[in-house]
Structure 1
Amino acid sequence: MKNGLEDVVAAETQLSDVDGEAGRLIIRGVSLDDLVADSTYERTATLLLDGLMPEALDEASLTRRLGEARADIFRHVEAADATILALPPVDAMRALLARLPDGEGSPVAIRLMAASAVFLPAVLRLQKGRAPIAPDQKLSQSADMLQMLNGTPPSGEQTSALDAYLVTISDHGLNASTFASRVIASTQAGLTSSVLAAISALKGPLHGGAPGPVLDMLDAIGQAENAETWLGNALDKGERLMGFGHRIYRVRDPRADALKNALKPLTATGQVDSARVALAEAVEGAALSILKRRKPDRPLDVNVEFYTALLLETLGFPREAFTGVFAIGRTVGWIAHAREQALQGRLIRPRSVYVGPLPKAA
């Protein structure tokens, strides 16, 4: 028995491969670096869903159908009553998604991908007392999300930055939320149920809840010259440095560099707080230095959460919504895994080892 299923192989997949020793992520035969450099959310979604749906999907048709689905889904925003709006954003988004019918085909998959992108911006605006903004089905998924969030057309650099984020986190092996999605899919419950289960796993703080605290850490440090002392004190107290270390990667998380690079066009055009970026880079350097000295036997490097926080903050998402944005990007991966599992037709049913008391002998 391996606690936490450590190193237990539970599925064969053609979707993604995470090499923690080499710091490499491959999605459907394409390295992450190449995928981020030459892809959009829609193109990556087409790649992940290729061959897994009853009908073929190309980028143009998926873009059009996503736009139509966002426009249709918007009517469900009316269900966001006071009870739903009192929830954290990811929970409110999950509650609205639960209204959608289940099923296995392309219409269900596209509706789910569109719905999360509509619901989260709407919830965030409603929670601030603002009217939700209707989708513009002529826009791409990323551009429309930003327009629904901020109320103004996004720049090309902003759209590309969100595309880079959604592509970067679209799939990542058999993590907790993806495994949850596959377990539900193996029961033939439907794609909506699989996505709802995955979001429920993602919202746990050990899985998808860390990007926000990265900003809390930057706020507390304040100035670059404070970084070394603040980080040292945090380690002295036994605290974890947010944005560093990963369960799988023994070297630098390749997604961290992809997102750091995605910030560069925004920095070059003055669309990001350059002082904030400089502080983050100073904290990164100080943290890597102190971790190497303090924990020489533990490979702790920057993970995806560090620059996720800075990028999403720059695009206008509040830190309490970061898990929800992650869910928007990962939904296509959850759907692809659910379909891959459903096509195998095998119910996931592991065994447990009983360690409780035995009946008393007669």
Structure 2
Amino acid sequence: MKKSPFKIQENVQRLSEVCLKNSKIDNVHYSEYDVKKGLRDLDGRGVLAGLTNISMIQSQKMIDGKLTACEGVLQYRGIDIKELVAGFQKGQYFGFEEITYLLLFGELPTKVQLKEFRQLLADKRTLPKNYVRDVIMKSPSKDIMNQLSRSVLTLASYDPNVSDLSIENVLNQSLLLISVFPLLAVYSYQAYAHSKLRKSLYIHNPDPKLSTAENILRLLRPDKKFTEIEAQILDLALVLHMEHGGGNNSTFTNHVVTSSGTDTYATVAASLSSLKGSKHGGANIKVTEMMRDIKENVEDICDEQQLSEYLAKILRKEAFDKKGLIYGMGHAVYSISDPRADLFRTFVGKLADDKGLHDEFEFYAKIERLAPKVIASERNIYKGVSANVDFYSGFVYHMLGLPDELYTPIFAIARIVGWSAHRIEELINMNKIIRPAYESVLGDRNYVEIEER
């Protein structure tokens, strides 16, 4: 006789209580063994786990022999991100392809090299015959990040050299994934929108003459049309999300999985699984949901006192998702400022004006100004709090008309570049599996015969 689903759930609930009881570790042991939770010191600095030439993040400087908080700095291959952005915007061209070249190969391309590289990415921006129909269309899902993982793992079955770990082959696989990620993400969304939301189905081919940012907008929109400023700010979003040191969760996952000797597709699928978490790449959608919640529950969003009181409720786990977090505020590394948010802020204002959403931008700016004060009054914080890149990225994607389901996949379309660079760096330099230690704090126990339990 088949058991009732309620009875099954009852059993699972009971077992989960046993699991909670026997898996809890007393916090005193973490201090006793000097274990850094989250592999971070009390001041937020990450435990040093490796070396890299790919990017550098700085939030503190040594002044008079003391570490002192400073304005955040982010460098790609030794070059300040603000200089890189200023460079391609002054040249009036899209930056994603140029910065991809820089991160992968360690140097800025010449005009000829950049032209050839753009063509290489365009040539690789194609999927196997019937792939969209047989893989993407047949099992649509709202969770586009999981769809991306499945699509990446399925691509492995089309690769005759899937397990070849030579740098040439891994680079070839990486370039393929960088090129097709926009197709995998947007086509997965179109399949979901058609199947679950009953919308018309649009599967556009990419245009080899267009940049990555332009192609994303072309693939997504029914009429394939977009404005120059829309493509420019999406391009900027991609550049700002491409790389952020070897210690961020998804990139560290990439290093760990690469070190085991597995293939590129499995490694990227693991990184995708990390990125989709709400504490990592999924934070931008949480910002958007939080801002909607504030508007729905604060009577007058122009009243700073009402806004501050509601933000305090969020921190006290009395409002929004009751997790006690003001999403988009604070960062594991940065304290005074996140340079990516600084860059974003200027261009977000321009896009808001272009879209007639200046009041919405002012609302975001107000929350950005009030939240650190509320956090400081409600929490015992060890460092400053400022807006991070996720605070504005969700607003940008909203203005671009991107559906919520694509917010984190857009992050992945950018971060696949950083993952690829770090995978190659790990393969070249380490050749040793990453295997940190965990200390058992349970103590010895004796086996008890089943009749005596």
TM surpasses 0.5: yes
TM superposition shift of 1:91: 0.9
Structure 1 distance, partners of 2:96, 2:352, is 22
Letter in 1 for 2:349: K
TM superposition shift of 1:199: 0.5
TM superposition shift of 1:265: 3.3
Out of 167, 185, 199, the position equivalent to 2:239 is 167
Structure 2 distance, partners of 1:297, 1:261, is 28
Structure 1 distance, partners of 2:436, 2:374, is 42
Letter in 1 for 2:403: P
Q: 1:107 to 1:274 in 2, by over 3 A?
A: same
Cα contact 2:240–2:340 (8 A) shared by 1: yes
Cα contact 1:210–1:242 (8 A) shared by 2: yes
Bigger relative contact order, structure 1 or 2, given CA contacts below 8 A and separation 6+? 1
Out of 228, 245, 258, the position equivalent to 2:330 is 245
Cα contact 1:169–1:326 (8 A) shared by 2: yes
Out of 173, 178, 187, the position equivalent to 2:260 is 187
Q: 1:320 to 1:29 in 2, by over 3 A?
A: same
After superposition, the C-alpha distances for 1:305-356 in whole angstroms (9 at most, x for unaligned) are 1001111111222223211111111000000000000001232222332333
Q: Name whichever of 214-223 and 191-200 sits farther off.
A: 214-223
Cα contact 1:46–1:58 (8 A) shared by 2: no
TM superposition shift of 1:166: 0.8
TM superposition shift of 1:291: 2.7
Out of 131, 141, 145, the position equivalent to 1:76 is 131
TM superposition shift of 1:271: 2.9
1:282 matched to 2:347? The reply is no
Partner of 2:50: 11
The 5 A counterparts of 1:147-166 are: 147-151=218-222, 152-166=224-238
Structure 2 distance, partners of 1:234, 1:183, is 35
Out of 197, 219, 237, the position equivalent to 2:292 is 219
TM-score relative to the length of structure 2: 0.73
Partner of 2:180: 115
TM superposition shift of 1:87: 4.5
Cα contact 1:218–1:279 (8 A) shared by 2: no
1:135 matched to 2:228? The reply is no
Q: 1:150 to 1:132 in 2, by over 3 A?
A: same
Q: 1:350 to 1:15 in 2, by over 3 A?
A: same
Paired residue total: 356
- Secondary structure of 1:20's counterpart equals strand
Structure 2 distance, partners of 1:277, 1:347, is 47
Long gaps (5+) in structure 1 = none
Structure 2 distance, partners of 1:135, 1:308, is 24
Out of 115, 133, 136, the position equivalent to 1:60 is 115
Out of 125, 131, 134, the position equivalent to 2:190 is 125
Cα contact 1:76–1:96 (8 A) shared by 2: no
Structure 2 distance, partners of 1:247, 1:230, is 24
Q: Name whichever of 74-83 and 255-264 sits farther off.
A: 74-83
Q: 1:81 to 1:66 in 2, by over 3 A?
A: closer
- Secondary structure of 2:116's counterpart equals helix
Structure 2 distance, partners of 1:30, 1:142, is 22
Cα contact 2:171–2:424 (8 A) shared by 1: no
Partner of 1:33: 82
Structure 1 distance, partners of 2:289, 2:266, is 33
TM superposition shift of 1:288: 2.9
Q: 1:179 to 1:342 in 2, by over 3 A?
A: same
Out of 320, 329, 332, the position equivalent to 2:405 is 320
Structure 2 distance, partners of 1:355, 1:236, is 32
Partner of 2:154: 99
Cα contact 2:119–2:208 (8 A) shared by 1: yes
Letter in 2 for 1:60: K
Out of 256, 262, 275, the position equivalent to 1:202 is 275
- Secondary structure of 1:25's counterpart equals strand
Larger Rg: 2
TM superposition shift of 1:74: 8.0
Cα contact 2:349–2:361 (8 A) shared by 1: no
After superposition, the C-alpha distances for 1:161-216 in whole angstroms (9 at most, x for unaligned) are 11111111111111111011111222332322221111111112222211112112
Q: 1:78 to 1:202 in 2, by over 3 A?
A: same
TM superposition shift of 1:292: 3.6
TM superposition shift of 1:75: 4.8
Q: 1:71 to 1:84 in 2, by over 3 A?
A: same
TM superposition shift of 1:81: 5.0
Cα contact 2:142–2:405 (8 A) shared by 1: no
Cα contact 2:136–2:151 (8 A) shared by 1: no
Letter in 1 for 2:364: A
Q: 1:277 to 1:74 in 2, by over 3 A?
A: farther
Cα contact 2:54–2:422 (8 A) shared by 1: yes
Partner of 1:43: 98
Q: Name whichever of 187-196 and 144-153 sits farther off.
A: 187-196
Q: 1:227 to 1:354 in 2, by over 3 A?
A: same
Structure 2 distance, partners of 1:100, 1:149, is 22
Q: 1:83 to 1:205 in 2, by over 3 A?
A: farther
